[in-house]
Structure 1
């Protein structure tokens, strides 16, 4: 009698384990299939950031740095906040399609590289409300330079890819950077 109970107990644990395994499989696999039902899409965009590094309408400002040292893009430890207009063309009067908002920190001792955390926030009709999240080492004296696209929202959910930046026009109070973005995402 004791052996019979022990066997039933073991059998029910095996069934319970199998049932739990199937339940976990359903929880993790089925929702991911329905989220990606429309398939993977590749999107390529070219946008222009209208940066003002100084003056009363500055779009990138130093917010922290090493005490006693000047706070500049070439100075290790300096952190910046940015909110630059993003246009569809090179000219600053081109249609605005969004904003580039984020944080940059000069992380290379020699000042050659920034760590970039940037949200591309779209306001144009086609992608309004969608974002792309960029992150990476921005070797600021290289042209072009490349960072990773690590995510997105709205029409760019599950985005992954890369973005290149190239200083296109450089002036004392106005810098235009071309940004080419290639991302794969689900629609």
Structure 2
């Protein structure tokens, strides 16, 4: 008959494991919920463009509705819709027209905070954006600095649109636990 080979913990090992568990639980903090509204100043044409196509299907027009078009962005983020209001960060990353029908983009972007209490922190956003919906929602999947281990969601809505000048202001409402 085979003997049971389950190792036994010594009393000192058990005490050490319990002590570490107690220390871990004592250091664990409750998650904080943060909500904020940010305004993206988006310029899609001209010498000061903050959003530009960088790749696409050969022979096809590179547009937000053309499947396969890749955009890179570096939009200023302001406190209010006024483009002259305080700069609080940048939205940096990529968008890819990922829906064959031209209605969806895949977004992988970072909110990089450059001022006030969140200076140096980031929020990482990722997901499918149904670009012709009034309100688009994507996931907050991570963060750094004050937002380490963040999770939540962000909604985007067009606050202002000036099509002839390829300029828009997007309101981004963010809700995160961190």
* TM-score, reference length from structure 1: 0.83
Displacement of 1:124 after TM fit?
1.1
Aligned twin of 1:160: 151
**Pairing of 1:1-187 with structure 2 (within 5 A):** 13-15=5-7, 18=9, 33=25, 36-37=28-29, 39-171=30-162, 172-185=165-178
Gaps of 5+ in 1: none
After superposition, the Cα gap between the structure-2 partners of 1:32 and 1:46, relative to the gap in structure 1 and judged at 3 Å, is: farther
* TM-score, reference length from structure 2: 0.87
Tell me the SS of whatever aligns to 1:126.
helix
Q: How many residues align?
A: 172
Gaps of 5+ in 2: none
Tell me the SS of whatever aligns to 1:75.
coil
Q: Deviations over 1:28-68 (max 9, x none)?
A: 9678646633x210000000000001111111111110000
**Cα distance in 2 between the residues matched to 1:29 and 1:56:** 57
Tell me the SS of whatever aligns to 2:65.
coil
Displacement of 1:173 after TM fit?
2.6
**Cα distance in 1 between the residues matched to 2:42 and 2:26:** 41
**Cα distance in 2 between the residues matched to 1:69 and 1:32:** 56
After superposition, the Cα gap between the structure-2 partners of 1:174 and 1:35, relative to the gap in structure 1 and judged at 3 Å, is: farther
**Cα distance in 2 between the residues matched to 1:32 and 1:175:** 47
Structure with more of its chain in helix, by fraction: 1
Displacement of 1:74 after TM fit?
1.1
Q: Which has the larger radius of gyration?
A: 1
